[in-house]
Structure 1
Amino acid sequence: MTLARLFPPRVARLLVAVAALIAIAPAPSHAAAKIQHLISPGGIEAWFVQDATVPLIAMEYAFGGGAAQDPAGKPGVGNMVADLLDEGSGDLDSRTFHERLERRAIELSFSSSRDSFRGSLRMLKDNKDEAFDLLRMALTSPHFDSADVERIRAQVMSGLRRETTNPNSLANRKFLALAYGDHPYARPTNGTLESVAAIQIADLKDYVRRVVARDTLKIAVVGDVDPATLGKLLDQTFGALPAKSELAPVADIEATKPPQRFFIPLDVPQTVVTFGGPGIKRDDPKFMAAYVVNHILGGGGLSSRLYKEVREKHGLAYSVSEYLLWMQHSALFVGNTGTRADRAGDSVEAIDREVRRMAEEGPTQQELDEAKSYLKGSQMLALDTSSKLAAALLQYQIDRLGIDYIERRNAIVDAVTLEDAKQAAKRLWGQGLTTVIVGRAPQAAARPASPTPPAAN
């Protein structure tokens, strides 16, 4: 199978170019490289790693706001903006804009998370001027032509219709609704069928006006470009943006306390279970203890307690995992598994039992030592490409961790004591779980699924 079959054309071309370069280049050590705090002549700030191992440049950037800035009653505006910024801008229509990207193997994308509107730009060094100029046009003069808006709207709504019969999507949406009620974090980032249908071009333009501004901009760049050249490119790209954003305030919130349980009937072969509860925010002094003990419970893949209990010991599910999710104004822990309808109750009980045991007893010293060793050793592997390092540096800025965090991180992991881990476990899981179950009722498990599963809201 060719790359063109697996990836969009511009991505396939970039991969071919990268593969050829990697074949003749020594393996880079990105995480060990010096991180510079670059300030452009125009005052645009970026964290920057100059690396000439291969002639590539990767940039990740974010504006504060994200889906939390969608108008009340219209979730999905930021998501539609992200899908439309590269659909024609400046003097280029949508087709010409994409042809320019593909001709130079430039990868440009946007996305809207809960707290930030993000973008990614990757290119070969020789194509940097055109790549940054296309990004400038996308940010400063997007067209939002009605034909493009309706085409993207149709695509988004098609995806939303599929989600109405997707048990994972239904479970995740219901879980957030239970956790956050009428807070913006409860809104689905890609919207609803009703809200997306109601979005107007004026909503899209107003979102860009309010959110895309220099005062909340954070940038990370890794690649083969010198500081002076990068500074000029940043000024040319971002310098014309408004100086100040106009963000609506978002209140801090703690997720609704467990225990809660909710069942959504859906005639599908496999029952899905999403579980979780209030987490620990990234700026909390005990966050790393929570991160380490969460790795032991559900974040460590085949070595986690939940996997061993639910999958290996009882054979209730093929996989089960759990992770920490932190946002600017709240935090969660969230887990997922899938099982047969007639075994869903047993799976939920096994998860509850293991979570309760961890909350009451905490991890063992051996589990803690092994988790710390893994988390320290995996750090370099997680930052072994320009794109991965740029994404990490952007997230470190968003989380306000400091430009030296990579150097300090392993020492922070090492400092977690067994008592720290036990306290974090009790704090995370001592209240139990909020659980959402989506699937067929146990008594219907023996019957075959209907050809067309009913929609659920």
Structure 2
Amino acid sequence: MTASLLHAPRLHRTVLANGLTLLVLENPVADIISARIFIRAGSAFETPADAGLVSFLMGLLTKGTESLSSMDIAEAVESVGASLGTDATTDYSVISLKTVAADFEDIFSLAADLLRRPSFPEAEIDLEQRLTLQQIRSMQEQPFTVAFNELRQAMYGSHPYALSSVGTEASVAAFTQDSLRAFHRQHFRPDNLVVTVVGRISPEAAVAQVERTLGDWAVPTTPPPTLQFPTVTPPHTRLPLFQDTNQAIVMVGYDGASVQHPAYAALKLLNTYLGNGLSSRLFVELREKRGLAYDVSAFYPTRLGQSQFVAYIGTAPGNAATALEGLRFEVERLRETLLTEDELQAAKNKLLGQYALGKQTNAQLAQLLGWYEILGLGVEFDQQFPDLINAVTALDAEAVAQAFFRDPTIVLLGPEATIAPLVP
């Protein structure tokens, strides 16, 4: 076991003998402890045939273990006012918990049991399948979701990021206890874990707790699964989706950089400038000044693999052509228009202010530190990120815009009479 202190005496990093990484941040201010158990297994490991498996599996972790029923688990958590939940993303999965310090040992032991010994009861699988199928069908009635699913699939092609996180009706219906157990056996292993504990607990006590519950977990003889992402070449085309809606959805998707790419910080800053909040460029120009938008924004997800930079607008169907022109103009003008010093500094202040506000609670800190570690950036990235943002110049932003904001993939959803003329 190796240990070290990072940045401050309160932050303690430990690697157990079985390869599990533990980060502990002691914060005695409130009698609360938050913890996360990150698993280096997200939907990026799925194929079209088993799309949605990771999300489905994580939802079932709280439905039973070898010794506890779903009711036993719920009562153990609710009886002490704690919280315990799960989530799955493209690049990782996570078990989250929060409790008062006196109950941390019991609730963390329960979380470790869910992690190591889920039973995947057949009755719970059947129920989860019915609920997930209902969710998939409901999503097909949501214009924004339909448009984004089409954009994501078009941009990513055979890349696993193209897949829906909840799967398809065919893939979900095919999930079995055996397929869930096989994925769990392959990916849920101590050397694939990062555990974060933040709150009123000493590093020594946290290490002892994790050692008791997870330290005896043997490492398999085979190495953990790794990903080899295929090269992505977006089609740079216009895709029509005809729906008789009262609102047209226009989306433009540009190639985006991975979190480890040199352009990451500049793209985050441009995303803030273009689409973050009521003072953003897209909101002011397209909604406030031109009255084109019911909703307008941009997003740029942080990804281990190649990301995407997406700008979108919801508008009256008759305004779809003008909205598309305006959306592309506002994004692509940055290829040849330098941000002013005031614009650049305002975007930096907004982004870094929101970043600081996202680190106020034990739960937020446990999430952030574990997220950086599981992505391979290390907790040092928490200190590096503000420096990277502050270092971006107007010329840097323009160069990144020139490299990324060209030849978008476009999705247009709305009534055929207004959308069809916009597609060559």
Match of 1:440 among 385, 396, 415: 415
Query: Which residue is 1:290 aligned to?
Result: 267
Change (3 A) 1:395 1:418: same
Give the Cα separation in 1 of the matches to 2:128 and 2:334: 46
Q: How far is the alpha carbon of 1:232 from its aligned partner?
A: 1.8
**2:395 corresponds to 1:419:** yes
Q: In structure 1, the residue corresponding to 2:301 is in which secondary structure?
A: strand
Q: Is the 8 A contact 1:262 1:437 kept in 2?
A: yes
* AA matched with 1:260: T
User: Identity of aligned pairs, percent?
Assistant: 27
Query: Which residue is 1:352 aligned to?
Result: 328
Give the Cα separation in 1 of the matches to 2:312 and 2:22: 36
Change (3 A) 1:42 1:51: farther
Q: Superposition pairs for residues 402-413 of structure 1, below 5 Å?
A: 402-413=378-389
**2:349 corresponds to 1:373:** yes
Q: How far is the alpha carbon of 1:33 from its aligned partner?
A: 8.5
Change (3 A) 1:404 1:428: same
TM-score (normalised: structure 2): 0.91
* AA matched with 2:185: R
Q: How far is the alpha carbon of 1:246 from its aligned partner?
A: 6.2
Give the Cα separation in 2 of the matches to 1:312 and 1:254: 39
Q: In structure 2, the residue corresponding to 1:325 is in which secondary structure?
A: coil
* AA matched with 2:236: P
Moved more, 356-365 or 88-97: 356-365
Moved more, 278-287 or 370-379: 370-379
Query: Which residue is 1:361 aligned to?
Result: 337
Change (3 A) 1:92 1:256: same
Q: How far is the alpha carbon of 1:43 from its aligned partner?
A: 5.8
Q: How far is the alpha carbon of 1:254 from its aligned partner?
A: 4.8
Give the Cα separation in 2 of the matches to 1:246 and 1:297: 43
Q: Is the 8 A contact 1:48 1:222 kept in 2?
A: yes
**2:233 corresponds to 1:256:** yes
**2:244 corresponds to 1:267:** yes
Q: Is the 8 A contact 1:317 1:339 kept in 2?
A: yes
Q: Is the 8 A contact 1:318 1:339 kept in 2?
A: yes
* 1:60-110 CA-partner distances (Å, limit 9, x unpaired): 231112112235512111111111011011311111221111112221112
Q: In structure 2, the residue corresponding to 1:85 is in which secondary structure?
A: helix
Q: Is the 8 A contact 1:258 1:277 kept in 2?
A: no
Q: Superposition pairs for residues 25-44 of structure 1, below 5 Å?
A: 34-39=10-15, 44=20
Unaligned runs of 5+ in 2: 1-6, 420-424
Query: Which residue is 1:384 aligned to?
Result: 360
Give the Cα separation in 2 of the matches to 1:284 and 1:333: 14
Query: Which residue is 1:70 aligned to?
Result: 46
Query: Which residue is 2:205 aligned to?
Result: 229
Give the Cα separation in 2 of the matches to 1:199 and 1:167: 27
Q: How far is the alpha carbon of 1:155 from its aligned partner?
A: 0.7
Moved more, 228-237 or 199-208: 228-237
Q: How far is the alpha carbon of 1:272 from its aligned partner?
A: 2.1
The alignment of Structure 1 onto Structure 2 pairs a total of residues equal to 413
Q: Is the 8 A contact 2:372 2:378 kept in 1?
A: yes
Give the Cα separation in 2 of the matches to 1:373 and 1:91: 51
Q: In structure 1, the residue corresponding to 2:151 is in which secondary structure?
A: helix
Give the Cα separation in 2 of the matches to 1:414 and 1:208: 42
Moved more, 134-143 or 40-49: 40-49
* AA matched with 1:304: S
Query: Which residue is 2:26 aligned to?
Result: 50
Q: Superposition pairs for residues 38-437 of structure 1, below 5 Å?
A: 38-39=14-15, 44-244=20-220, 249-257=226-234, 259-298=236-275, 300-429=276-405, 431-437=406-412
Q: In structure 2, the residue corresponding to 1:143 is in which secondary structure?
A: coil
Q: In structure 2, the residue corresponding to 1:366 is in which secondary structure?
A: helix
Q: Is the 8 A contact 2:297 2:312 kept in 1?
A: yes
Q: In structure 1, the residue corresponding to 2:211 is in which secondary structure?
A: helix
Q: How far is the alpha carbon of 1:149 from its aligned partner?
A: 0.7
Q: How far is the alpha carbon of 1:318 from its aligned partner?
A: 2.6
Unaligned runs of 5+ in 1: 1-30, 445-457
Q: Is the 8 A contact 1:67 1:115 kept in 2?
A: yes
Give the Cα separation in 1 of the matches to 2:74 and 2:352: 41
Q: How far is the alpha carbon of 1:378 from its aligned partner?
A: 3.2
Give the Cα separation in 1 of the matches to 2:292 and 2:218: 54
Q: Is the 8 A contact 1:356 1:432 kept in 2?
A: no
Q: Is the 8 A contact 1:251 1:329 kept in 2?
A: no
Q: Is the 8 A contact 2:156 2:234 kept in 1?
A: no
Q: How far is the alpha carbon of 1:130 from its aligned partner?
A: 1.4
Change (3 A) 1:42 1:178: closer
* 1:374-412 CA-partner distances (Å, limit 9, x unpaired): 333333212111111111111221333333333343332
* AA matched with 1:236: R
Q: Is the 8 A contact 2:320 2:418 kept in 1?
A: no
Give the Cα separation in 1 of the matches to 2:387 and 2:112: 40
Give the Cα separation in 2 of the matches to 1:403 and 1:75: 31
Change (3 A) 1:71 1:235: farther
Q: What is the root-mean-square deviation of aligned Cα atoms in Å?
A: 2.3
Query: Which residue is 1:17 aligned to?
Result: none
Change (3 A) 1:135 1:285: same
Q: How far is the alpha carbon of 1:146 from its aligned partner?
A: 0.9
Q: How far is the alpha carbon of 1:249 from its aligned partner?
A: 4.5
* AA matched with 1:252: F
Q: How far is the alpha carbon of 1:317 from its aligned partner?
A: 0.8
Q: Is the 8 A contact 1:75 1:190 kept in 2?
A: yes
Q: How far is the alpha carbon of 1:420 from its aligned partner?
A: 1.0
Moved more, 403-412 or 51-60: 403-412
Give the Cα separation in 2 of the matches to 1:277 and 1:147: 43
Q: How far is the alpha carbon of 1:218 from its aligned partner?
A: 1.5
Moved more, 129-138 or 246-255: 246-255
Q: Is the 8 A contact 1:70 1:207 kept in 2?
A: no
Q: Is the 8 A contact 1:59 1:387 kept in 2?
A: yes
